Structure 1
Amino acid sequence: MTQRVELATVMDRLAVDELITEYAVAVDDGDWATYRGLFAPDGRADYRSAGGIEGDAVEIAGWLAESMELFPMRQHLIVNRRVRFGTLEHDTGDTAHVQADYVNPMRFAGHDGGSRAPDFVCGGRYAFVLVRTYEGWRLREVVVREKWRHSPERQPATP
């Protein structure tokens, strides 16, 4: 492998990593315009394993905007990112597959129990498929595979 190819691979890995981070920040901040812009025109997402829907980026952004109103505080972390650049069929390296774990603490709207701890935490694994476009790397597919969820018991208020 030449230095030029190695540098291009490093640059692609950084761009892919940035896109995944932008995805997490857009969801956590409720920035649905940015969320939609992260997807390729044919991009789709599947949140069914977490009780959601499957659809194109516009449908999913609408569903997320509505369902995330329940959780005004959210901060999901995407970790253990495994990136593989594509060699499927006639692919020339313009696709990437990313597998990454997530942990997502959230607080329900109206929570006033005095605790700063989340009311709800879930975790699982994402499967992302990315494609290189003229605008840069974009999401073609996002599949959420929720593995667990926990809703801590609320402690009774002390007088």
Structure 2
Amino acid sequence: MTQRVELATLRDRLAVDELITEYAVAVDDGDWAAYRNLFAPAGRADYRSAGGIEGDAGQVAGWLAESMRLFSMRQHLIVNRRVRFGVLEQDTGDTARVQADYVNPMRFAENGTGSSAPDFVCGGRYSFGLLRTYDGWRMHEVVVQEKWRRLPERTAPAVID
């Protein structure tokens, strides 16, 4: 591998890492416009294993905006990132696959006056499919595989329409 190729690969790895971090921050901060902008035009997400939906980035952002209102605090910790670059139309590095584990502590919104400790914690693995676009790396697929969750002794508050 030439020094130029090694430098390009390093730059791509840093850009991919930043994209995954921006994903976590957008969800934790409830910035749904930023969330949608992380996706390629035909990008999709699948949260069914965590009790959610599967759909295009706009549909999923709407579902997340509604369901995340239950939680006053969210903090995705995305770790153990494994990045593999692929080939699209004969150009190396046009695609990437990222597998990353997550732990996500959250606090129910109604618990704002009590402890600052999380009420709900879940963990699992993300599978990200990425594309290099004219705007940089973007997600074309996110699949959540929730592996475990710890719920509080009490039940979650009901969603009010």
* Structure 2 unaligned blocks of 5 or more: 155-161
Partners of 1:99 and 1:129 lie apart in 2 by 9
* Runs of 4 or more above 2 Å deviation: 87-92
Partners of 2:74 and 2:90 lie apart in 1 by 40
Q: Which has the higher strand share?
A: 2
Partners of 2:46 and 2:93 lie apart in 1 by 24
Aligned to 2:158: none
SS where residue 94 of structure 1 aligns? Answer: strand
1:75 alignment partner AA: Q
SS where residue 118 of structure 2 aligns? Answer: coil
Partners of 2:95 and 2:72 lie apart in 1 by 34
Shift of 1:113: 6.0
Aligned to 1:124: 124
Partners of 2:6 and 2:46 lie apart in 1 by 33
Shift of 1:88: 6.2
Aligned to 1:133: 133
Q: Percent identity?
A: 82
Partners of 1:112 and 1:47 lie apart in 2 by 27
Partners of 1:117 and 1:139 lie apart in 2 by 32
RMSD: 1.4
Partners of 1:152 and 1:90 lie apart in 2 by 51
Pairs within 5 Å for 1:1-159: 1-87=1-87, 90=90, 92-112=92-112, 114-153=114-153
Partners of 1:30 and 1:38 lie apart in 2 by 14
Partners of 1:125 and 1:85 lie apart in 2 by 19
Tell me which moved more, 82-91 or 95-104.
82-91
Partners of 1:65 and 1:99 lie apart in 2 by 24
Shift of 1:91: 5.2
Q: TM-score, normalised by structure 2?
A: 0.92
Partners of 1:103 and 1:125 lie apart in 2 by 9
Partners of 1:133 and 1:149 lie apart in 2 by 35
* Structure 1 unaligned blocks of 5 or more: 155-159
Q: How many residues align?
A: 154
SS where residue 152 of structure 1 aligns? Answer: coil
CA deviations 1:40-81 (Å, max 9, x no partner) are: 001000000000000000000000000000012100110000
